[in-house]
Structures are given as structure tokens and as C-alpha cells.
Structure 1
Amino acid sequence: MTEPRILLLPGWQNSGPGHWQTRWESVHGDHRVEQHEWMRPLRGDWSARLEEEVLASPGQVVFAAHSLGCILVAAWAAHSRNTHKVRGALLVAPGDVESDNLRQQIPGWAPIVREPLPFPAVLIAANDDPYCEASRSRQLAADWGARFVDAGAGGHLNAESGLGDWPEGRKLLNEISKEKN
């Protein structure tokens, strides 16, 4: 079985130097899906870029999504005819774009697509994430058919969370990479 290509899907404003996604890109050679506009993201544009990257990958892919990247995965999966190329997804700290604060800052992303994902997924979230209440993260996992992992207290599971290379997250990603649809 060929190893899948890991596609890193950063959230709004991209992932900076101390973020686990950036570290994984450097250490493991994972591929970041670059967006044309990180500050004013458009759901259709981001979905189109993801579709291009999935089609450009020679074999299967695994998504490692953070924040708005999680919301992107659900939106993309609801419309793409290429979901069969996805072995699985690690969904980290989804951003609640239906909350009043984020809805105003990132317009056009609500409502969140709530259809079950057509591939295995694990959603990991902290119970003190300022961008998504724990109950909302659990509900998104249930809606998407994803296994939920409670990360405890860790904030938005980003660079400010002090995760470093985040071996716990990488372990989850490796488990997903080995699963068969």
C-alpha cells in the first residue's frame, strides 16, 4: 500500500513558524495547500484550491486540517467528486464560523456543512478553545461522523498552545494514514 500524501490545510491567516503544521511541513515533508487569499478567505476559492491539490496528487491523500481548514474539509467533501482519493482526515480545533464573532470576521463560511464525511476522520479539540465551545466541537464531530478526541486544556491547538512538533497529533495522523476506507 502506497503512503498517502499529507495535505496540510491551515486556517484563517495561515499557520506561522511555530505552528505544528509548519513544523510538520519542515520535519516530515507534508504539503501545505497554499491559498490565494489568507486574510479574506472565500469558501469557493479555498474549495477550488483544495480540489486542484487533490487532483494533482498521484495517489491517495490525508488531510491535516486546522481551524477554518476543518470547515473547508466539510464544505469540499459535500461537493467534490474526488472524495474517493481521501484516505482520512485529522480535524484539529475547528473554528465555529457560525458564532457571531467569527461570522463577522470571516463572512461567507456559515452555515457549516454538517453532512457525514465520506472518509474516516478524527476531530481533536481542547475544552477551552476560544474559537469553538467544547460542546460545538463534539457536535461537529458527531455530524461529520468523526471520532472525537478531547485534548483537555490547550486553547486553539496552535502555536500559542506550545505544542512544538506535537507528537500526539502526529500519532493520530499516522493512525488515519494507515486506515483503509
Structure 2
Amino acid sequence: MRVLGVDPGLTRCGLGVVDVAPNRTATLVAVGVVGSSHEMSLDARLLVIADAIDQWLDAWTPDVLAIERVFAQTNLSTVMGVAQVSGIVIAAAARRKIPVSLHTPSEVKAAVTGSGRADKAAVTTMVTKILRLSAPPKPADAADALALAIAHAWRSGPGSQVSSSEGSTAAQQLWRDAEAKAKKNKEKSGQSWR
């Protein structure tokens, strides 16, 4: 499975493509950040990002696009910029009939580190280890995009239903354990799972 992860942002939009094998081994395909200057008009900034997303989707032809779910922050202008970029990215994928999956920051952190409260440094460290990179991806937006791609593939991609822990990293096993516990708790309380 090939996943394009997108960490949306108006100033810096992280992009990361990973291939994930059925045994959940993730391999880096491409990583980068597209940026736009706050001195540009909003329409020009969004166009820069739209053009870059089109290029990445056409060049890497992902099976799915994983993007960070917009969440409330105290800075309304930041939330608006993230939401606008997210809309552009989702529309670009839809034009190509590429499925889109949204993930919260805590889901992504839990998937790659085993803790939904991990900081950016811990996420970057684990992304570097998972992808067997010689140096951490920079800036943090790039690492976050890769983490989104990995989290999506591990959660819903090849091998996501594998119960065996053979060949799994500690983070993968923690993720499976957390999912199983959440499912059990929801079943006990009478809620449906997913």
C-alpha cells in the first residue's frame, strides 16, 4: 500500500509518501514541505499548495491519502488556514478517486510511538526508526506527514488485522493492544466499534 500523508498548513504543508508491505514494514518513498509566504495573498498561497498537491498525487500515485483532522485551537486564523488547505488536498484526491482518511494527532502519535501524548521529538525519532532513515526528516511538518502515512497504513492497511506480533515493532504492538482494549470497552458499554 502506498500512502501520501499530509500535515496541512498554510505556511508549511508537510508531505510524505511511504510504501507499507503486508508485514507492516514501511519504506520512505518521498518527503518534503511546500510553503507559502504570509506576504502573498490568500488565493496565491492556496494555489501554491494546490499545485504542489497535484504534482505529488500525479508523481507518486498513492493508493490512499491520509490527512490530519482539523481540531480546535485558540488561534482562529491558524485553524482557518489548516481547514482551507485540507479542503484543497481532499478535493485534489477526490478528482483522482483516491480515498481520503482523516486522523487526529493523538491517533497518529499513538500509532507511531505507543502514546497519544507523545511530543514532536518522540514522533520524529520513531518515524526515523520505523523508516530506517540515517537522519531525522526535517522540518517537523515533514516528519508529521510521514507519521500520518505510517499511522494510516498500520491502522487500516495491509496486515492491519494481523494478530501475530511476529515482526512487529513495539509501537505496532502497542497500537494493536490499544485498539483491542478500546474495542472491548466499547462492546462492554454497548457502543458499536467504528
**TM bracket (short chain):** 0.3 to 0.5
Q: Which has the higher helix share?
A: 2
* Structure 1 length-normalised TM: 0.39
Structure with larger RCO (C-alpha < 8 A, sep 6+): 2
